Structure 1
Amino acid sequence: MVGGRTPGTVGNRGIVYAGEGKVAIQDISFPDLVLRDGPGVNPKNVGRKCDHGVILKVITTNICGSDQHMVRGRTTAPVGLVLGHEITGEVIEVGRDVEFIKKGDIVSVPFNIACGRCVSCREQNTHVCLNVNPDRPGSAYGYVDMGGWVGGQSEYVMVPYADFQLLKLGDKDLAMEKILDLTMLSDIFPTGYHGAFSAGVRPGSTVYIAGAGPVGLAAAHSAQLLGASVVIVGDLIPERLAQAKSFGCETIDLSKHDDLGEQIEQILGIPEVDCAVDAVGFEAHGHGKGKGEAPAAVLNSIMDITRAAGKLGIPGLYVTGDPGGIDEDAKVGTLKIRFGLGWAKAHTFVTGQTPVMQYNRYLMKSIMSGKAQIAKAVNATVISLDEAPEAYQAFDKGAATKFVIDPHGTLAR
């Protein structure tokens, strides 16, 4: 018996990458407190003991735009990789070295996997932990080249370093009452907030958000929480722009306009903003009718329209390996960025994964108080595990929603 469970007696299902453009629901191993071999697991991580970890019964797990990059075949993710890094769950088993997290706790899991012991973690840079990924600093659940930690778009998942990483969400009734908001704490709310915060948004700021996907919408809501006077959101998809407009943002349809500064001037009276956020990443497209993929388009445009000495928050994902890149440079993450423009304007660039633990506790308090309405901002929509393949397809086509998977029908009940 392990924690009251006989190994092998409980099943587990998860969503796996099934090749370009496809995901599948499969029976996967029930997690234990050892990182086993499997698709995407770094050989140096195989057999890694995690007595400092816990097993979660997943309450909610969300589909992320970063997952879509893999599913589109735009990374080197292997077939069979269990997806999912946005996880909220109930603790059902604790490792022998876990002291403070208890069975029955409802917890949010930061998507960054962090040991809590290395120099980076001690400095709160948990997005570049030095001890969880043998290839390079930083790791995440269910993601390519991130060490191979099994993803959480599943019924059950193992989380290492539980005492350090997990954020308790109060008593169960309160947590479940706010679960659609709290599920965003694992990634997109801190990521959107990080984009706005690192861009220097403060009371009175004018802000441009590139991209009206869930992270862009979270960044827009975060900019409002930080006191921005005007938040402008640009995107190519009218439905997503309508969602941004629904909570008070100004919008620009980039499928119709190629001069972003001109459109901003129509809103603000001047063709520039105080700060900007790139919530698009490496699959960016050019602005205007009929424009195709242009991976540096967003970075160059936000440098163009951000005032001198302004800051650029860049939570949008950029990768070092993109098999579908438009040219040989793009395939290795080398982009034609007008860095001279950014230098001349004395811009500050903030890039990389979001250090979720710097923000999630405070954002949780904002949710609990009713100040933050993140589920409404991103149009959270609950689906079952079996509906996930259809949701992936809808999201890939630009659905103006954040899909929240309910693996056990907990929310439905």
Structure 2
Amino acid sequence: MAGNKGVAYVGKGTVEIQDIAYPEFVLRDGPGVNKANVGRETPHGVILKNVATNICGSDQHMVRGRTTAPEGLILGHEITGEVVEVGRDVEFVKRGDLVSVPFNIACGRCRNCKEGKTGICLNVNPDRPGSAYGYVDMGGWVGGQAEYVLVPYADWNVLKFPDRDQAMEKILDLTMLSDIFPTGFHGCVTAGVTVGSTVYIAGAGPVGLAAAASAQLLGAAVVIVGDLNADRLAQARSFGCETVDVSRGDPKDQIVEILGVPEVDCGVDAVGFEARGHGHDAGTEKPATVLNSMMDVTRAGGGLGIPGLYVTGDPGAADAAAREGSLSIRIGLGWAKSHTFATGQCPVMRYHRRLMMAILHDRVQIAKAVNATPIALADAPRGYQEFDSGAARKYVLDPHGLLSHA
């Protein structure tokens, strides 16, 4: 049996590479594993040799100590790999298949899965609807920033690439299908982005940049990206976006300079609960700032897509209300403007096959848009540190040295 190594959260601000158990077709006890899931058998699963597994901004929330994630949790929910073992109940996935894994773990059998709401599967997390690999309060499924990982309900969950050689040529693009590309796309779709739209995207991290590329793919006329980080704003401009530096003040004042009017058709929040203030408050955490500014700059009758993460437990929040996810949002403003709001995990399976085809047929260059940067699994601690400091990169871990040509 092969060994295994994974990226473990070991305390606020720190991850390390640890020797971990090779996956089995049963969920064993460990950090973060829901006790009701211990011993759960997964003959419907496959074991993957990870080809690419990415560091996500959502992982950073845990590593910063801004969630209730336990020490020792193996991180990682953005997984692309080769099938090396197949459970006895798997019918259609074969050894040697190269696949993308949605970060949502879904059974394919429950009411929500049958309705396409795979981000809130009812059968994989005893605590609440919805589950993910290597994430706090998501059932305790072992994370994929590792050499090998178990994927349950494989016939339902994995997306097989049609041609292995073609896929490896575009692997840095295809690895974004597990999360940030569908998530950014979902934010735009739920905000109502279509041909000719004007769009404001708050946040120029990887999800925000993926949302910007998605807005372009959907036919937006103007895509405006707002952030505090000059390097990330430059990355957004590198593929044709307009930008707003919110450290200069209210985004509305810069949007009017770009569009001639102080509002957009659609808004996408790709920041989430660790939002900073604008202008003089740019150095201060103000978690409701982005939501309130989006309502301010989105036209009456417009839509707000909110793929940015908001949590029910934030031990590092500045006040008691925010520690339990209660924010001072101007819901009256959104009501008065008849805004639509869409929140929650992206149901990746709703989009990933179509986005795969867009990648394979050169309709989008998502890896270039997010500045995908491969690094060795052993360099994950450095990747986390640089990403946390604001690097304008999407770090892609290479556990087996298969991305050297990418």
TM-score by length of 2: 0.99
Equivalent position amino acid for 2:179 in 1: D
Partner of 1:283: 274
> Which of 89, 102, 113 in structure 2 is aligned with 1:110?
102
Partner of 2:256: 265
Task: Give the deviation of 1:171 after TM superposition.
Answer: 2.1
CA distance in 1, matches of 2:35, 2:20: 19
Partner of 1:330: 322
Structure 1 runs of 4+ aligned residues shifted over 6 Å read none
CA distance in 1, matches of 2:238, 2:100: 27
Partner of 1:16: 8
Partner of 1:5: none
* Structure 1 gap ranges (5+): 1-8
CA distance in 2, matches of 1:271, 1:412: 46
Task: Give the deviation of 1:324 after TM superposition.
Answer: 0.2
Q: Secondary structure at the match of 1:76?
A: coil
Partner of 1:339: 331
Q: Deviations over 1:348-376 (max 9, x none)?
A: 00000000000000000000000010000
> Which of 114, 121, 129 in structure 1 is aligned with 2:121?
129
Q: Secondary structure at the match of 1:201?
A: coil
Task: Give the deviation of 1:157 after TM superposition.
Answer: 0.2
CA distance in 2, matches of 1:167, 1:386: 27
CA distance in 2, matches of 1:335, 1:262: 25
Partner of 1:40: 32
Equivalent position amino acid for 1:239 in 2: D
Q: Secondary structure at the match of 2:225?
A: strand
Instruction: Map 1:132-281 onto structure 2 (within 5 A).
Output: 132-255=124-247, 257-281=248-272
CA distance in 2, matches of 1:387, 1:128: 33
Partner of 2:54: 62
Equivalent position amino acid for 1:57 in 2: K
Equivalent position amino acid for 2:259 in 1: L
Q: Deviations over 1:124-146 (max 9, x none)?
A: 00000000000000000000000
Q: Secondary structure at the match of 1:195?
A: helix
Q: Deviations over 1:359-401 (max 9, x none)?
A: 0000000000000100000000000001110010000011000
Task: Give the deviation of 1:262 after TM superposition.
Answer: 1.1
Moved more, 163-172 or 48-57: 163-172
Moved more, 289-298 or 216-225: 289-298
**What is the aligned-residue RMSD (CA, Å)?**
0.6
* Paired residues, number: 404
Sequence identity, in percent? 72
Task: Give the deviation of 1:118 after TM superposition.
Answer: 0.2
Task: Give the deviation of 1:289 after TM superposition.
Answer: 3.3
Q: Secondary structure at the match of 2:280?
A: coil
Q: Secondary structure at the match of 2:94?
A: coil
Equivalent position amino acid for 2:250 in 1: D
> Which of 324, 349, 356 in structure 2 is aligned with 1:357?
349
CA distance in 2, matches of 1:289, 1:236: 12
CA distance in 1, matches of 2:158, 2:129: 20
8 Å Cα contact 2:83-2:94 kept in structure 1: yes
CA distance in 1, matches of 2:66, 2:141: 20
Q: Deviations over 1:25-58 (max 9, x none)?
A: 0000000110100000000000000000000000
Q: Secondary structure at the match of 1:34?
A: coil
8 Å Cα contact 2:375-2:396 kept in structure 1: yes
> Which of 49, 58, 68 in structure 2 is aligned with 1:76?
68
Instruction: Map 1:300-339 onto structure 2 (within 5 A).
Output: 300-339=292-331
Partner of 1:100: 92
CA distance in 1, matches of 2:178, 2:314: 25
Equivalent position amino acid for 2:326 in 1: T
Task: Give the deviation of 1:172 after TM superposition.
Answer: 1.5
CA distance in 1, matches of 2:309, 2:378: 27
Task: Give the deviation of 1:290 after TM superposition.
Answer: 4.7
8 Å Cα contact 2:245-2:251 kept in structure 1: no
